[in-house]
Structure 1
Amino acid sequence: MRSKLALSLRWQIVLTLIASGVLAVGTTALLLVAASEAAGWLPPFRSLLDFLADVFGVWPVVAVVTVGLTFFWYILLSQPMIRYIEAVMQAMNEVARGNYDVTLPARMPDELGQLGDNLVAMARQIKLSLMRERQANQARYELITAVSHDLRTPLTSVLGYLQLIDEDRYRDEVELRYYVDMAYEKAKQLKRLIDQLFEFTRTSHGGIVLRPVPINPAELLEQVAEEFVPALREAGMEYRLRLPDERVTLYADPDLLVRVLENLISNAIRYGREGKVVELELEARPAERAVLMRVANRGNPIPVHQLERIFDSFYRGEGSRSGRTGGAGLGLAIVKNIVTLHGGTVRAISETERTVFEVRLPLGTPPGTAGGPGGSALSPGAAGRTG
């Protein structure tokens, strides 16, 4: 790039000099013709020309005029290049001072223009890198704050109950047993949070290797739904299952896919108690080579500004950091990581009285895996069911 730029600048200088010389010769010729015409009807001008010719000679005067005109034309023709170089230098100074919003005038159609484009692109890349670094620092700060809060709450409870036991501040064995049970439950909550942190770290930083096998997502969805029947009954809820008529074969890691469904259904139970129903749906889209799984609950909608961050780690909606809802704000982040590992996408759709989480998975072997053959199979035989 440097050699090309230097060569291009040298050629531009040479060509500009040649063009300036040609224009200077032409201009001198025109001036000589004009001077001859003017000498006929301007006697003082003729006297001046005769004096210069007698003192210096005709050709030296012509040479001086030609050289002067050459410099004039060179300065005039090189102005666009000089102005562009000055703009590039000014932009470099702005970047050095930390201002990365630099612009340049109309692009030069040569290596110099490419240099300007590269400078602007570099400034934008530096700005983007700094922005990402600030976001990463902010995310780390939020992570530390959230972890500290979520670990401290159950840990404080455990220490409080153990202190009551240690100081014999209980009336009888029943109350002692109550304190022990409460400390045990808080300790389990603490362990669940630590397990979630570990799982989130593994799914975020390549700690998981997918082992895709051919599975029937309809059977998997129904199986996971049945496992949640006790939790649904305890919450006063039920589930409704909608499956496609055709049989779908999906290549995915069944353990991780179960984790996705568990997190989404748990989230629906946690925030959709008032709606009384968790809706589960599987939709096959063979034309798009994709399968969609939806988990929906009825209740208060999620504000639009929260939808953009709902899959971020440790993010929970307004008022959700309470004992009633619980959770560490990692479930949906884990869902997103696992779905992304499978080459799919997940999104949240919040309507007036209904919130839907939609997982879209490609039919075929997830990218970057070695297990399972590619392709997919859709065949008739599985009737649509509701449960």
Structure 2
Amino acid sequence: MAAFLKSLILMIALVIAVHLLAYYLIQHSVLDRPLIWVVNHIGSTPVLAVFGCVLFLALFFWTSKNMISYLKEIRSGLQQLASGKLDYVIPLRSADELGDIALSINVLSKQFNELLEEERNAEKTKNDLITGVSHDLRTPLTSILGFLELIEKDRYQDEVELRYFVSIAYEKSLRLKRLIDDLFEYTKLNNGMPLVLAEIDVVDLLGQLAEEFVPSLEKVDMLCQIHSTESTLMIMADGDLLVRAYDNLISNALQYGQAGKLVDIHIEKIKTEAVIRIVNYGEPIPAQDVPYIFDRFYRVDRARTADFGGTGLGLAITKSIIEAQGGRISVSSTAKETIFETRYSLLQHKA
């Protein structure tokens, strides 16, 4: 439109100038006879009309050549994108409609590239999950089948050895069930399991949960202490899932913090958040493992087999539960202590 208007204005100005020039030449030039003949036999209006059309086309081509060149550049960019080069960016050379088109194409290309990358990551995640599940299910299942085969073929010396084989197969079966249960729960959480939200007092909830761990603590000669700066801290959460998350964190502290003989639970209010820190004083988590501690099937001690470690899903489930309820979880570990910190927005009650 800008090129059209510019060409039209220039054409009108030039036609008027040519008309005035012809009038001047008729009055004062030796060329008056040819001009008078053209005016008398053809007419000034048709001549000016033809001249104006030709002039307009020439001017429009001249003023729009940059636009045509930019259109070719945009077309070339679209061909690059169509060939699979989704990171190609069309240069923005103007602020008009063509510039807007180029910008829109670039934005669309970026969004499509991001979606494609997310799809690739999702596919890789699915494959990794299948690989991890296959490995962790196969290990106990192989042991179960091995001991059942010994029993089936009567390859045991006496009833004592038979009971020993049965006991091991039973323990492996329980581990297999725990792994399947954890995997099922992890899948449900990551597929958007509906939450049953209610007002929860985290001070009271963690106090009750710590009491339930007393027998387990006494077995390993450990102590759990709660330190709270507040008597009540209310958050909106799913109580059952919250219990599962902190059950995992405290169990983790018991399993890997026995050397420290103590688990501390610190609860405090920081601005508008409830902050809970679960601290154990056992062996530190190696610095290279900290970024991956919440990844599914990740075990810090690679030398430890699945028989002695967890399923590798406990902390992944905990992270999913915390984040599904709008919370955040992080971990830090030094030679002195390992801290799992969770944060939630506090309920703001109107006066």
TM-score tier by shorter-chain length is 0.7 to 0.9
Gaps (5+ residues) in structure 1?
A: 1-11, 35-45, 365-373, 378-387
What is the alpha-carbon distance in structure 1 between the residues aligned to residue 303 and residue 219 of structure 2?
A: 20
Give the superposition deviation at 1:141.
0.9
Give the superposition deviation at 1:198.
1.6
* Letter aligned with residue 19 of structure 1: K
TM-score (norm 1): 0.74
| Residue of structure 1 equivalent to 2:339 | 356
Which 10-residue stretch deviates more, 200-209 or 139-148? 200-209
What whole-Å deviation, never above 9, does each CA across 1:308-327 have from its counterpart, x for those lacking one? 44333333346165246522
What is the alpha-carbon distance in structure 2 between the residues aligned to residue 25 and residue 111 of structure 1?
A: 26
2:6 to 11, 19, 24: 19
After TM superposition, list the pairs within 5 Å mapping 1:1-387 onto structure 2.
12=1, 15-24=2-11, 26=13, 70-106=56-92, 108-212=94-198, 214-235=199-220, 237-285=222-270, 287-288=271-272, 290-298=273-281, 299-303=283-287, 306-317=289-300, 319=302, 322-323=305-306, 325-351=308-334, 353-364=336-347, 375=349
* Letter aligned with residue 338 of structure 1: I
What whole-Å deviation, never above 9, does each CA across 1:13-53 have from its counterpart, x for those lacking one? xx52342243255567889999xxxxxxxxxxx99x89996
* Letter aligned with residue 285 of structure 2: P
CA contact (8 A) 1:53 1:61 kept: no
What is the alpha-carbon distance in structure 2 between the residues aligned to residue 315 and residue 376 of structure 1?
A: 44
What whole-Å deviation, never above 9, does each CA across 1:129-174 have from its counterpart, x for those lacking one? 1111111111111111111111111111112222222222323322
* Letter aligned with residue 300 of structure 1: P
What is the alpha-carbon distance in structure 2 between the residues aligned to residue 320 and residue 334 of structure 1?
A: 23
CA contact (8 A) 2:230 2:268 kept: no
Gaps (5+ residues) in structure 2?
A: 22-28
- Alignment partner of 1:247: what SS? coil
Task: Select the structure with the greater relative contact order (CA < 8 A; seq sep ≥ 6).
Answer: 1
CA contact (8 A) 2:277 2:341 kept: yes
Change (3 A) 1:282 1:77: same
Give the superposition deviation at 1:189.
0.7
* Letter aligned with residue 280 of structure 1: I
TM-score (norm 2): 0.81
CA contact (8 A) 1:249 1:376 kept: no
What is the alpha-carbon distance in structure 2 between the residues aligned to residue 335 and residue 182 of structure 1?
A: 29
- Alignment partner of 1:78: what SS? helix
CA contact (8 A) 1:320 1:326 kept: no
What whole-Å deviation, never above 9, does each CA across 1:102-153 have from its counterpart, x for those lacking one? 3222264444433322211221121111111111111111111111111111
Change (3 A) 1:54 1:317: farther
* Letter aligned with residue 250 of structure 1: I
CA contact (8 A) 1:52 1:61 kept: no
What whole-Å deviation, never above 9, does each CA across 1:293-315 have from its counterpart, x for those lacking one? 112234333435x4444333333
CA contact (8 A) 1:202 1:208 kept: no
Change (3 A) 1:186 1:376: farther
* Letter aligned with residue 129 of structure 1: L
State, as a whole percentage, how many aligned pairs show the same letter.
Answer: 39
What is the alpha-carbon distance in structure 2 between the residues aligned to residue 30 and residue 353 of structure 1?
A: 92
Change (3 A) 1:376 1:72: same
Which 10-residue stretch deviates more, 107-116 or 93-102? 107-116
